[in-house]
Amino acid sequence: MRQPEPAQSSDRTQAPRTVDVVVVGGGFFGCQVAALARKYADKVVVVEAADRLLTRASYHNQARVHNGYHYPRSILTALRSRVNFPKFCADFGDCVVSDFDKYYAVAREQSKVTASQFATFCQRIGAPLEPAADQVTRWFDPDRIEMVWKTREYAFDSLKLAERMNQLLAEHQVQVQLSTVAKHIEPDADGVRVQLHHALGAVETIRARWLFNCTYSSLNFVLAAAGRPPIPLKHEITEMALVAVPTELHKVGVTVMCGPFFSIMPFPPRGLHSFSHVRYTPRAAWLERDGLPYHTGLPLQVADFKVRSAFVLMQRDAARYLPLLRQLEHVDSLWELKTVLPQSEGNDSRPILFRPDGLWPRLVSVMGGKIDNIYDLPREIADLFADHRRHSDDLAH
């Protein structure tokens, strides 16, 4: 489907126009928020800094459709993934890739769960689990791997997902402005006023009743543009290796739990596999919180790391558990900022962040910890608009 056109240049600052909702950030969550907001608002605009939708975190990730297995230390996150897995597969079936076998293994040492504990966990959340066939088990070093299971976990094609989001926004008559950055935000009589800078030089001001900040790792930059305090966040510069795999692994994904281990999954947009390692994928990390400058960590530019990929370290360690990985061919790497809530670090939980600003309740920051968090959005948005209606009714009386 044809992409929305970038905003056109102008020789002068345009007069303000009024809309109901501005969504800053054209990733998967921003697109979903915009479509849902159309149930409550007539004029909705998505503002995206890139020249296409879903080009950043929505693309630069392992493309895993979670089914609960990944979260033995957060039973709530696991259960929510189990509930959302069939929903996602039904709603985005044309974007889901399921023609591969997915295996989970538990290491004998350094794992935070034993094989018995992992099996019990899967039983409790109702996740399908069966011992891997002997020919698969033989791929692994028995001195380092306690148990291997065949599971049910899929991948998604982010390019197809982007096509779906373009269709979704067109169907809901949401305007999309690409190559556009929100530079300055201030309160208005009935909402916010947003100054937009377009790539071709035009500057535009929009008045909106609501602003949804869906910029993932840039949440606090948008809040800084509004003069608001930051949300406590942890950022990591990450390297996801893209690899060509040996024949045995062409239609296979493997995750070793639960500690300083690795995962290798089909990566549909490139016809390769993604390869990540708990120890070596994060290349640098820093915290954003009140009292720290918003630019903390920015000198650690991604470009500084691209010249020294950690692929060899990832491969060397992972091949001790799965010797077939010695045959990997490193084709490319995806570099991105991964952002999580600091409180999630201890147990791997991935809750959704949905936070109206304390001073400007119509400025709402949204961040999903994993892709199926979109199923939390309808309730959150419905409650937000319902609360606003109740408050307005109370004032009227």
Closest CA to 84 of 395, 375, 381: 375
CATH homologous superfamily of 17-56+159-231+351-396 equals FAD/NAD(P)-binding domain (3.50.50.60)
Q: Determine whether 79 is exposed, middle or buried from the number of CB atoms within 10 Å of its CB (0-12, 13-18, 19+).
A: middle
CA–CA separation, 175 vs 170, rounded Å?
Answer: 8
In DSSP notation, 281-305 reads SEEEEEEE-TTS-TTTTTTS-HHHH
Per-chain mean pLDDT for the chain: 91
| pLDDT score at 66 | 95
pLDDT at 301 over 90: no
Distant-in-sequence, close-in-space partners of 394: CB < 8 Å, separation ≥ 6: none
DSSP for 42-103?
S-EEEE-SSSSSS-STTTSS--EE--STT-TT-HHHHHHHHHHHHHHHHHTGGGEE--SEEE
Size of the chain, expressed as the number of residues it contains: 397
Please name the amino acid found at residue 26: G
What is residue 346's predicted lDDT score, i.e. its pLDDT?
Answer: 64
What's the CA angle centered on 287, arms 51 and 289, to 5 degrees? 95
Tokens of 69: 């297995």
Task: Extract the tokens encoding 35.
Answer: 């479509």
By 3-state DSSP, what share of the chain in percent is helix, strand and coil, each rounded to 5?
Answer: 30, 30, 40
Give the pLDDT mean for 47-58: 95
Domain residue spans of the chain: 17-56+159-231+351-396, 82-156+233-340
pLDDT on residue 2:
45
Which pLDDT value is given to residue 11?
A: 40
- Which of 154 and 13 is assigned the larger pLDDT? 154
Q: With contact defined as beta carbons under 8 Å apart, do 66 and 371 qualify?
A: yes
Closest listed residue to residue 207, CA positions, set 352, 390, 41, 21? 21
Q: Mean pLDDT across the stretch 175-204?
A: 94
Beta bridge partners of 182: 196
Report cis status (omega within 30 of 0) of the bond before 122.
no
Give the C-alpha separation, 355 to 361, whole Å: 9
Fold for 82-156+233-340, please state it: D-Amino Acid Oxidase; Chain A, domain 2 (3.30.9)
pLDDT over 70 percentage in the chain = 89
C-alpha to C-alpha distance for 181 and 51, rounded to whole angstroms: 11
- The confidence score (pLDDT) of residue 10 equals 44
Taking only the tens place, the pLDDT of each residue in 213-227 is 999 999 999 999 999
Q: What is the pLDDT of residues 324-372, one digit of tens each?
A: 999 999 999 999 888 989 887 666 667 899 999 999 999 999 999 889 9
pLDDT tens for 101-142 read 999 999 999 999 999 999 999 999 999 999 999 999 999 999
Please provide the distance, in angstroms rounded to a whole number, between the alpha carbons at the two ends of the chain.
Answer: 48
Contact status, residue 280 vs residue 363, Cβ threshold 8 Å: no
Mention every residue, 6+ apart, whose C-beta is less than 8 A from residue 58.
27, 28, 158, 161, 162
DSSP one-letter string for 175-235: EEEBSEEEEEEEEETTEEEEEEEETTS-EEEEEEEEEEE--GGGHHHHHHHTT-PPPPEEE
